[in-house]
């Protein structure tokens, strides 16, 4: 009997020092006002895999990208709305479907990423 290897979706901790400045999202582009604008993750961000893992190097890159961007959106939102913003570490659980390998996979991955980030920003604006 062959053992089954189960890879659980990773839980990633994102952290940055309190002294690192957060950059605002870039200004909207006049020719594409509906384009999703995201604050850039700081270069000093540290990502630590706490639980689980990725099935490939590509998936690990995607998981890290999601965790860094989600944490940056949360830190930026808190810095703009909280009386005493803090830079607490944020733990993000990421579960993504594996890549099919077809020609449109990159477009789908980009659309899903933008959809998740847009939903998070909308959720934060309504709280």
**The dihedral of CA 53, 59, 61, 62: what is its sign?**
negative
Q: Could you tell me the pTM of the whole model?
A: 0.83
Give residue 15's pLDDT: 95
Per the CB < 8 A criterion, the answer to whether 39 and 22 are in contact is yes
Give residue 26's pLDDT: 74
Buried b / exposed e over 83-92, threshold 16 CB at 10 Å, is eeeebeebeb
Give residue 125's pLDDT: 84
Compute mean pLDDT per 10 residues along the chain, 127 residues long, and list them: 60 91 76 79 93 82 94 89 80 80 82 92 86
């Amino acid at each position: 009997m062959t053992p089954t290897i189960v890879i659980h979706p990773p839980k990633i901790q994102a952290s940055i020092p309190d002294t690192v400045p957060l950059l605002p999202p870039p200004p909207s582009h006049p020719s594409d006002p509906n384009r999703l604008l995201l604050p850039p993750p700081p270069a000093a961000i540290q990502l630590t895999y706490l639980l689980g893992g990725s099935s490939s190097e590509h998936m690990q890159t995607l998981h890290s990208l999601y965790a860094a961007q989600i944490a940056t959106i949360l830190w930026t939102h808190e810095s703009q709305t909280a009386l005493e913003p803090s830079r607490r570490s944020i733990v993000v659980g990421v579960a993504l479907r594996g890549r099919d390998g077809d020609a449109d996979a990159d477009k789908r991955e980009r659309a899903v990423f933008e959809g998740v980030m847009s939903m998070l920003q909308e959720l934060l604006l309504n709280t």
